[in-house]
Structure 1
Amino acid sequence: MRMIFRCDPALSDHLPRPILARGALPDWLRAMPTKAHSEIHGREIRTVKQCPPFIDAMAYGVMILLPCDVAVDRGSFSWDWDIPEPSTAGHPRAPLSFHVPAQFPDAPFAREGQAALKFNSFWTIELEPEWSLFATHPINRDDLPFRLISGLVDADRFHDGGINFPAIWTQPDFSGVLPKGTPVAQCFAVPRAAPQLVFESFDDSHKEAYAKTVAEVLATPGVYRKRFRARRGRSTAE
């Protein structure tokens, strides 16, 4: 799978490139201990830092990064980003724009009277035929002061314009700086073909395998990681 990112040539030296999500794991995860005391269990237990599905979800796909510092003061956003005039007609210069509340009436994520942010795209994204781009909030990143609204784009066909990323600002009292390089969207290439759903009851061999697997997982730490977790290759960037 190749994901091709293109940008305006005038901006190529001013934009952070999208990165593999494994390179954007947060500091709080790196600092988390691998074990912690549980009052309920009365002993040390493993934390999510030792849970491969938790980590692999956060490390999967590609992260789109905020292109510059954005100052935030209780819902007011500003930036000082000195970049050249793009050489492409209709190309944005601002890192943010907005969706008015009327665009998402009565949606469960709406905040009364509050516009949605739109993280403007400075990269086009092209995928291989029959693949779409799924964009969502950086996984398990409730520490970020916004919540991205997920979307699916047929980026094998739509790849000559930028894909923007709408979000709801969730911390109205936040004052500070959203720094350049903040992950704003986690993107995966997904096949467009719908899966064939097959339903079966366990036969004797499946019942035996189920009981054996569950017993091993409960008895021995790291069974999934050592026996079932797939090795993840390193990607290359051109």
Structure 2
Amino acid sequence: MRMTFRCDPKLADHLVRPYPARTALPDWLRAMPAKAHSDIHGRDIRTVKQCPPFVDAMAYGVMIPLPCDIKIEAGRFTWDWDIPEPAASGHPRAPLSFHPAAQFAAAPFANGRSAIKFNSFWTIELEPGWSLFAMHPVNRDDLPFRLVSGLVDADRFHDGGINFPAVWTQPDFFGVLEKGTPVAQCFAVPREAPELVFEAFDDAHQQAYAKVVADVLAAPNVYRKHFRAKRGRLTR
């Protein structure tokens, strides 16, 4: 699978490139202890830092970065980003634009305010038969916004930018959203729908189920040692 990112030639030296999600694991995860005391269990137990599915989900795919610092004060967004006039007609220069609240007023995530839209400075092309799934960075509730998920047929739509709408979730936020902050986590998904098959356990599957459950309960790291697949590194 190849993901091809392209940008306006006048902006190539001014943009942060999308980067593998595995390189953007947050500081709070890195600082989290591997074990913590549980009053319920009366002993130390493993934290989610030792849960491969939790970490692997955060490390999967590609992050789309914020192209410049954005200052937020009392709901006002400002930036100081000096870039050349793009060569392509109709290309954005501002890192943000907005969706009026009326566009999603009936959605459960609506908060009565306009949604922000992270403008795209990269086009994304996928191989035939694949679509781009964009979502909020996994398990990143520390970010002061919540991205609205979307699916784009980027094997066909790849000559225009894909923008990323989000709801701002911290109205009292004062500070800076820093350049390079991940705003969307993206990965390629096959467009062909899977065939769904439903079966009851036969004897072999019953025995396999009982063995796996017993192994998991008997020792730590069973999934990590015996089932977790080795992941190839994304190349750039």
> Residue 74 of structure 1: CA displacement?
2.0
Q: Distance in 2 between matches of 1:23 and 1:236?
A: 12
Q: How does 1:102-141 map to 2 (within 5 A)?
A: 102-112=102-112, 114-141=113-140
Question: What stretches of structure 1 move > 2 A for 4+ residues in a row?
Answer: none
The one-letter amino acid paired with 1:23 is T
Q: What secondary structure does 1:185 align onto?
A: strand
Cross-structure match for 1:28: 28
Q: Give 1:182 deviation, angstroms.
A: 0.5
**TM-score w.r.t. length of structure 1:** 0.99
Q: Aligned with 2:133: secondary structure? A: strand
CA distance in 2, matches of 1:43, 1:74: 45
* Alignment RMSD: 0.5
CA deviations over 1:56-109 (Å, ceiling 9, x no partner): 000000000000000001211000001111111000000000000111121100
Paired with 1:98 and 1:111, the residues of 2 have a C-alpha distance of 14
1:215 aligns with 2:214: yes
Matched ranges for 1:92-107 at <5 A: 92-107=92-107
Q: Deviations over 1:108-142 (max 9, x none)?
A: 00012x00000000000000000000000000000
The aligned residue for residue 146 of structure 2 is 147
CA distance in 1, matches of 2:79, 2:188: 31
Please list every run of 5 or more consecutive structure 2 residues that lacks an aligned counterpart in the other structure. Answer: none
Give secondary structure in 2 for the equivalent of 1:55: helix
Secondary structure of the 1:177 match is strand
State the match for 1:61 in structure 2.
61
For residue 215 of structure 1, give the secondary structure of its aligned residue in structure 2: helix
Q: How many positions carry a matched residue from both structures?
A: 236
CA drift of 1:235 comes to 1.9
CA offset digits 1:24-67 (Å, max 9, x no partner):
10000000000010011000000000000000000000000000
% identical equivalent positions: 78
Write the distance in 2 (CA, Å) between the matches of 1:57 and 1:236.
19
**Partner residue, 1:180:** 179
Deviation, structure 1 residue 148: 0.1
1:190 aligns with 2:182: no
Question: Which residue type is aligned with residue 223 of structure 1?
Answer: V
Using the size of structure 2 for normalisation, the TM-score is 0.99
Alpha-carbon distance between aligned partners in 1 of 2:15 and 2:217, rounded to the nearest angstrom = 47
